[in-house]
Amino acid sequence: MKVALTIAGSDSGGGAGVQADLKAFSAHGVFGASVITAITAQNTVAVTAAYDLPVPLIEAQIDAVLDDLPVDVVKTGMLSSSAIIEAVAARLAARPRALVVDPVMISKSGFALLADDAVSTLRARLLPLATVITPNAHEAARLTGKPVRDAAEAEEAARRLGEIAPAVLVKGGHLDGEAEAIDVLWDGHLIHKFEGPRITTTSTHGTGCTYASAIAANLAKGHALADAVEQARRYVSEAIRHGLQLGRGHGPTHHFWFLEGRDLFPYRSKR
């Protein structure tokens, strides 16, 4: 059994953050462990409050997991302050694993999940440790200081960020004017483009978390990077296509869409 560790914030609504990460790991047959960095009050409509956990507690969680479990890959999500980023980076540098960094910055409702003064810390301390980073267009623009509006600018951003991180996946869900959803991967040597139809739905809560976690799970299972991204993209596309109509806002993706219609409890009593 491969093991993946998520270091991220908790979503009380269950659709994003650590909750989404653990579901994606399980869906790929990978055991998931977690380190909570922040607690958010959140649902499908909005993030209404957030509380960062004390840095020593975050460090203790990381140590507890890595001291005991054979972690194959680490995925990071919401790391909201410079102090948290510094602590996580120091722990991961000392005990390196494959690392997927999802540079979470802002919620769909506009709630800031990364302090302004922490962006430079993220660039300097965590991105260089990553196996791959997975910014969306808005995050890539903030990290590069350049607009990312279409596939050409996404490719430029991926190459620019590739000067900091070994590999970069710029996700295309927020790109303007593209008939298809185009994700651009710079693997350190080549550009790979992954294209597919845009799915019309409001059930997209937790998509970025799920995608990055699926990539991490595939890396843990031994897939090469481009194949891990390809497999993760297929998975998350179906999770969106089968999205759940829950809540009054952006419903969650369906992490276990492939189990629909199956008898999950064949051992239950016939009485």
Distance CA 20, CA 50 (A): 17
Does 209 qualify as catalytic in the annotation? yes
270 is catalytic: no
Q: Kindly state the DSSP code that residue 224 receives in the 8-state scheme.
A: -
Taking phi first (over 0 means left), then psi (-120 to 50 degrees means alpha), and beta for anything else, what does residue 191 get? Answer: beta
DSSP code per residue over 8-30: EEEETTSSSHHHHHHHHHHHTT-
Q: Which of 206, 243, 251, 253 is catalytic?
A: 206
Annotation says 171 is catalytic: yes
Q: Is 204 a catalytic residue?
A: yes
Directed axis angle between helix 17-27 and helix 207-220, to 10°? Answer: 40
Active site residue 2: no
Q: Is 172 a catalytic residue?
A: no
Annotated catalytic residue within 207, 210, 251, 253: 207
| Whether 188 contacts 162, CB under 8 Å | yes
As separate numbers, helices (DSSP H) first and strands (DSSP E) second, the chain gives 8, 9
- Catalytic-role residue among 17, 44, 171, 243: 171
Long-range contact set of residues 240-246: C-beta below 8 Å, sequence gap at least 24: 240/199, 240/201, 240/203, 240/204, 240/207, 241/199, 241/201, 243/201, 243/202, 243/203, 243/204, 244/203, 245/203, 246/44
Query: Which is the catalytic residue, given 13, 76, 172, 209?
Result: 209
Q: Are strands 47-52 and 31-42 parallel, antiparallel or unpaired?
A: antiparallel
Catalytic site residue from 204, 210, 251, 253: 204
Cβ contact 61:125 at 8 Å: no
- The answer to whether 20 and 48 have CB atoms below 8 angstroms apart is no
Of residues 14, 208, 243, 251, which has the active-site annotation? 208
| Residue with the two structure tokens 């799970």 | 217
Active site residues per annotation: 171, 204, 206-209
